[in-house]
Structure 1
Amino acid sequence: MPKNTGSTPVVVTLAEIARIAGVGRAAVSNWRRRYESFPAPVGGTDTSPQFSLADVEAWLRQENKLKAAANPLDRLWPEYESLGNRDTSGRLVAQVGLRLSGVASVGSPDDAAVDQHRAHLLERTVDLAAGDSSRSTFHFLLERWLRTHVRQITTSPPRLAELMLKVAALFHPGPVHTVLDPACGTGTLLAAAGRRWGIESTSPVRLLGQDSDPVLVRLTQARLAVDGLIAKALSNLSLAAGDTLRADAHAGVQVDVVLCNPPSNERDWGHAELATDPRWVYGQPPRTEPELAWVQHTIAALAPGGVAVLVLPPTVAARRAGRRIRANLLRAGLLRAVVALPPGAAPPYGVGLHLWILCAKGDTESGNRPRTELTLIDTAHNVSSAAAERGGVDWPAVTTQVTGVLSGDETQGSVSVPVVDLLDEQVDLTPARHIPRTRTATMVDLRQSWAQFDACLSELRDVRGSLSELVPAEHDEAVALISVGELERAGALEIRTGQALPEDLVRRGERLEGEARVLTGAPLSGPTQLWLSAPVVAQGEEDGSLTVTASQDIIIAALARAFDVQVDTDVPSVLGPQLAALRVNPTLLDPWFLAGCLRAPANVQRAGTHASTTSRIDVRRLQIPRLSLEEQRRYGEIHRRITVFERDLREMKAVGAELSRSLVDLLAGGQLPRM
């Protein structure tokens, strides 16, 4: 049993209890109902209760519920969370990495040394990580820390880092001695650079990094140390905590490669105090264009012939306020390419981010003449999903397309635009605005859309025939009602709440074979764009970290402003924190009948508080009629047909919109025959 010498109690959630016991979360929920001796909650809420770790472990041992295969770090992690805040636990994770790697810490003294509880937790963690498990122990703790604070920290996915390195290597084929990341975060880009160029070089590549968050800087140092990418004397590493734009710790240093995923949409980045900064060679960045300040900062750091690859929001390519700086970058020949990535490549996952590739002029560059063309690549519309890897964007296809175009191959989805053609009033560098859509593609879309429209129309006629024959009953006899809460207590159904999602593993785009859809809110019936691979879902269901539906489960989005109900026929589905699932006992309840009653507007109005737009519907207060199972099934079949009717209407609307778009494309190109 863990010892807690501090005053803060160590608490665990149901999901953490499931990990400790090596079972699914549903098993823990069953234990709470079946065993009166199960520990009572000590905190949290009704939907997310918290329990004393010491009491839980004592109960698990008493009832022989602990599995030998459970990861001991799962039992230790709640103590990290009990330290109180993000920074304290993050510093301790970093100290674990530094101790395991044998590299001395730099910067301010580590807080763990002056706190008995943290020092004891540090020693126990190091003891668990004996031998070859040192690296996996640190990365386990780092991954859990990042997942816990996913809304506060933006990370660069490893596959994006690999693409950025390959792009940089194409523009800088010679040896790389120095790499800079001025917004290093937890060090993903620096670690990738160290693995690539540190192995190829006879001497370790020098890694420079800075971040405004001291905890992330400490974690970066630990990460590089654990991965064996820095020398024992730290001679190839320079990390600093501080505001890079206001106080550059590496001012005057000239580097071969800059890799950076800078913060975006920041208003307080130093616009006024940096008004006369010498880095603004191509124009003072407006207050609303902090990303262009980072672009010019990276250019100032490049040695002759150096290359910078930056991850930027797509709005940077087109915002009116930044057009003067974009034009000057084009005239100078520094901006070589803009790559539009598919949505899901990096946080924020719903946006297709851009890569900007900038090159400083080399000492021997031919004639020192600026480039006359800009390469634009759009991977969002030309990525085949057939070979996509599970749990992520189709990175092989994206990488092949990008590296092929930048190597000189002519590939669909790319274009080289003369700089003079871009220097208009907008200076819009968005790839999709310049890559033409072919007539062949439009005609294919048109034929497919008409075929889909005819199919939808036929299905709509069929379901309309059965529903139009229904007439309301003439009697107004009152029907006895029963609430969902009463059904739960009677064992007729089980309520399962959604949980936080592993955002770094969620893939955006079209569904691939074996993937499960991910739902995060209403509407539940619309097109799904989020997916998780089968292995991730299976592991999450086993350890209780994900809420996964089974066939005929009823999914509920319980926000008052967006209440929705759906019988899940596309299982498994993974539910986010705004959702819940009802799993019924089929011998007592028909799921289609239950779903139809739950979504009735009058029923929802009775169960909601409607105090604000964020109010939630109390699912347990929803009511349904007391009917026999036979009657339930008859009503359930009617509700199923209603959902088919609604689905066909949605599909027809979407197909009609696609038809209109294709026709307008052909019309605008003068490619429609006369009527």
Structure 2
Amino acid sequence: MPETTAHVTAAEISRIAGVTRATVSNWRRRHADFPAPSGGTETSPLYDLGAVREWLGARGHSQAADPREELRTAVRFHAPDPDRTISRIGFVLALARRCPDETVTLVDLTDAELADHAAEEVSGLLASLPDPTPPSPVFSAADGPVLRALLRCVREQGGQAALTVLAERELEDKAATGVHGTPEPLARLVVTLLPAGVERVLDPACGSGALLAAAAECGAATLLGQDSVPVQAQRAAVGLTLAAPGAEVTVRVGDSLRADCFDGLTADAVVCNPPYGDREWGHDELAYDPRWAYGVPGRSESELAWVQHCLAHLAPGGWAVMILPPATASRPAGRRVRAELVRSGAVRAVLALPAGAAAPLHVGLQLWILQRPEPGGPARKAVLFVDTAGTPSSSTGGRATGAPRTGSSRAPVDWVGLTARTLAHWNAFTADPDQFTAEPGTARAVPVVDLLDDLVDLTPARQVRISHTDVDPSELFTRTETGRRELTEAARRLLDAADLVGRSEPGVAPREWRTATASDLTRGGALTLLRTVADTKGPEPDGASSAPGAPVLTGADIARGTGPTGDPVELRSLAPVPVIAAGDVLVRAIAGGTGPMARVADEADAGALLGPQIHLLRPDPARLDSWFLAGFIGSAENIAGASTGSTVLHVAPGRLRVPLLPLDEQRRYGEAFRHVHELRARARRAARLAEETAALLADGLTGGALLPSGTPADADPA
């Protein structure tokens, strides 16, 4: 095979070999035969890829990398080239259509032979891809490493994984602002909200094709898609062909608002996750477009333009489900269009999702369920609002479930529970809107006339919030009494926890002992240090193909005392992520803030993934007690001595110091530190119960459901 002239960085070597960057640095220092730099600078050297692969292969590392990472690395050696990307996508289709045994012989071909074979395979397939397409496949011997990586990725992880990596490279510089992938669980929820039996489904901003793929799983036989980004349209076309081989797939390239490739077509259903916040959607040139049956959208209201575009592609009575940002429901500039949509009966439901359900992850998106009005059809008297933003996490770890979530520490979405509750409300509403039973604070069918005020605010949280008329005074009194009893019990337990075993003797100097650093204990085998090596420069994870896994423990979880709440979809690492075990000692990597710096993992933490801002110290239980270790290394003095930095203090775990004590004495200290931990936990619970009880009392008094103590029962508030 011809020698490649591609160069790789140390970070790319780590991805190829499936190791950390630190491991690569150790190889450079310890092995004299490690390839010498062939380019770059002294601080950022580059290495010849062929020499690196040969060195790794001799040590059994050549196939250690995940096939996607190997493909991602190979693709990055070439500048973005749309024609080459289309040809590679065509090769993915050709490979995926063949069984693995049929592609075994391709491994032994030279780069030039593999390029010729790929060109022959792809030549007949390019016509099936959305325009623009190259007149013929663009392959040469220089494409050999990419084609080999494609071959391995398709054989081991499937065509969809290869398509995702190929699209990433093209989208790095071309992805439009506000375009986000649709996670698979959300795509399934969108499709299950449609009536059964829809056959022709359109997505006018199809992206990777996730929504159409979900529709195919539910029986749709005709899949129609359009996207303004060519590589997305091509990726969707091939991906849908692979995912739904029995369906009729048509995907086009173009801006659906400005150049609708399906003009005049009506579908049984439309699904769409359109671009958000696009002020250049064509407001001026489309001012007199016939699609604006409900009013001309403002320049800042591109989402309402997409809403009307979707409705225009429905037959009377047809349904659409759209994923929209929350501002669409409340921006003043869109109130007139919203009013017409509500007045006509086109808006059937607005469902609020919790933050983290889909990108952008810090925003709680909404699902709008729309139905094109039928001439002479039944009047739509109400709109269903469902607020799932407070849906409980599937991973609370048994701790402080009422603790607020802050920053990026979101609990993974419980898609099973969220989907079941959402469908239950939607099915009950569609079965009999007039008899829908509201669930205060979660779901309510609001009369159309009540929505047509000056704001026409369709925000679910606003429409489902509990009012004083929803509260039974006797029920509220019972709840406040229960809260008071729980608060009293929590306060009693807090006092019990404060009675610690610590003691002192007057006139005796503080005890001193010899200490060792965590690095010393690691070298002696008493301790193992682990950490997740975050890949901060790699591409963002693809929401459409990421599957939810074990939750991630974050630094904020340690500070708050909650269970693992991090989202595994957001976790990117250069090496396998450590899995937490009971008895591990977890230390926040960033010093400062409130709450403890360290804790001992319990059974609720076991199995969670280690977040990137946490150090894991795994003690040998025959030599170190976990609670003893956590208590001493989490002290303010110890953390300060092991922290470096000016603005942000980073904890260097190897510098943390631990007293050298016999195991029996360690356990006595450990038991005392366990009491301290319980004191903190009970204090948090008491504080939370106090806040909840106070809120119940205040709401009851202001809403009229509760009266001040001593007020006569027959007193007239007037």
Please report the TM-score for the alignment, with normalisation by the length of structure 2.
0.72
Task: Note if 1:238 corresponds to 2:238.
Answer: no
CA offset digits 1:439-485 (Å, max 9, x no partner): 36756654553343233222211111116756798536765554333
Single out whichever of 572-581 and 269-278 deviates more from structure 2.
269-278
1:331 matched to which residue of 2?
Answer: 343
Task: Note if 1:583 corresponds to 2:618.
Answer: yes
Change (3 A) 1:81 1:240: same
Task: Note if 1:419 corresponds to 2:441.
Answer: no
Distance 2:477 2:2 in 1: 70
1:512 matched to which residue of 2?
Answer: none
Letter in 2 for 1:318: S
1:612 matched to which residue of 2?
Answer: 647
1:209 matched to which residue of 2?
Answer: 226
Select the residue among 439, 464, 479 that pairs with 2:498: 464
Shift of 1:96: 3.9
CA offset digits 1:549-601 (Å, max 9, x no partner): 11221222212455832221232321222223121233443332332333333
Shift of 1:266: 4.6
Task: Note if 1:488 corresponds to 2:522.
Answer: yes
Select the residue among 652, 655, 673 that pairs with 1:621: 655
2:630 matched to which residue of 1?
Answer: 595
Shift of 1:207: 0.8
Counterparts of residues 502-581 of structure 1 (less than 5 Å): 517-526=551-560, 527-528=562-563, 530=565, 545-560=576-591, 562=593, 564-569=597-602, 570-581=605-616
1:659 matched to which residue of 2?
Answer: 693
1:511 matched to which residue of 2?
Answer: none
CA offset digits 1:508-561 (Å, max 9, x no partner): xxxxxxx9542233241433473789xx9xxx99x9633211122122221245
On the 8 A contact 2:444/2:464 being kept in 1, the answer is: yes
2:376 matched to which residue of 1?
Answer: 365
On the 8 A contact 1:4/1:117 being kept in 2, the answer is: no
Distance 1:474 1:273 in 2: 86
Task: Note if 1:186 corresponds to 2:244.
Answer: no
Aligned with 1:495: secondary structure?
Answer: strand
1:510 matched to which residue of 2?
Answer: none
Distance 1:467 1:270 in 2: 72
On the 8 A contact 2:181/2:542 being kept in 1, the answer is: no
Select the residue among 143, 146, 155 that pairs with 2:181: 155
Change (3 A) 1:145 1:446: farther
Task: Note if 1:97 corresponds to 2:92.
Answer: yes
1:450 matched to which residue of 2?
Answer: 484
> For structure 2, which runs of at least 5 residues remain unmatched after alignment?
98-123, 396-411, 535-540, 710-718
Task: Note if 1:82 corresponds to 2:104.
Answer: no
Change (3 A) 1:584 1:268: farther
On the 8 A contact 1:92/1:118 being kept in 2, the answer is: no
Change (3 A) 1:625 1:114: same
Counterparts of residues 364-383 of structure 1 (less than 5 Å): 364-366=375-377, 371-379=380-388
On the 8 A contact 2:519/2:654 being kept in 1, the answer is: yes
Letter in 2 for 1:639: F
Aligned with 1:257: secondary structure?
Answer: strand
Task: Note if 1:398 corresponds to 2:411.
Answer: no
1:407 matched to which residue of 2?
Answer: 431
Task: Note if 1:224 corresponds to 2:240.
Answer: yes
Distance 2:506 2:207 in 1: 62
Distance 1:288 1:479 in 2: 67
Distance 1:149 1:658 in 2: 50
Say how many residue pairs are matched.
621
Letter in 2 for 1:491: G
Letter in 2 for 1:371: R
Distance 2:257 2:431 in 1: 33
Shift of 1:277: 5.7
Shift of 1:664: 2.8
1:138 matched to which residue of 2?
Answer: 159
2:715 matched to which residue of 1?
Answer: none
Change (3 A) 1:58 1:484: farther
Distance 2:344 2:476 in 1: 37
2:6 matched to which residue of 1?
Answer: 7
Aligned with 1:316: secondary structure?
Answer: helix
Select the residue among 431, 439, 459 that pairs with 1:430: 459
On the 8 A contact 2:350/2:369 being kept in 1, the answer is: yes
Change (3 A) 1:467 1:630: closer
Distance 1:660 1:623 in 2: 43
On the 8 A contact 2:324/2:366 being kept in 1, the answer is: yes
CA offset digits 1:16-66 (Å, max 9, x no partner): 7569xxxxx9xx98xx89x9779979999xxxx999997898788767799
Distance 2:171 2:496 in 1: 47
Larger Rg: 2
Please report the TM-score for the alignment, with normalisation by the length of structure 1.
0.76
Aligned with 2:621: secondary structure?
Answer: coil
Letter in 2 for 1:584: P
Single out whichever of 657-666 and 627-636 deviates more from structure 2.
627-636
Distance 1:416 1:158 in 2: 28
Letter in 1 for 2:209: G
Aligned with 1:262: secondary structure?
Answer: coil
Aligned with 2:160: secondary structure?
Answer: helix
Change (3 A) 1:272 1:472: farther
Letter in 2 for 1:317: A
Distance 1:528 1:392 in 2: 18
Change (3 A) 1:444 1:230: farther
Change (3 A) 1:300 1:449: same
Shift of 1:321: 4.0
Shift of 1:183: 2.0
Change (3 A) 1:51 1:445: farther
Single out whichever of 601-610 and 279-288 deviates more from structure 2.
279-288
Change (3 A) 1:343 1:477: closer
Distance 1:316 1:470 in 2: 63
Name the % identity: 31
Shift of 1:196: 3.7
Distance 1:39 1:458 in 2: 68
CA offset digits 1:243-288 (Å, max 9, x no partner): 4445544455444422011233455555667666665554454555
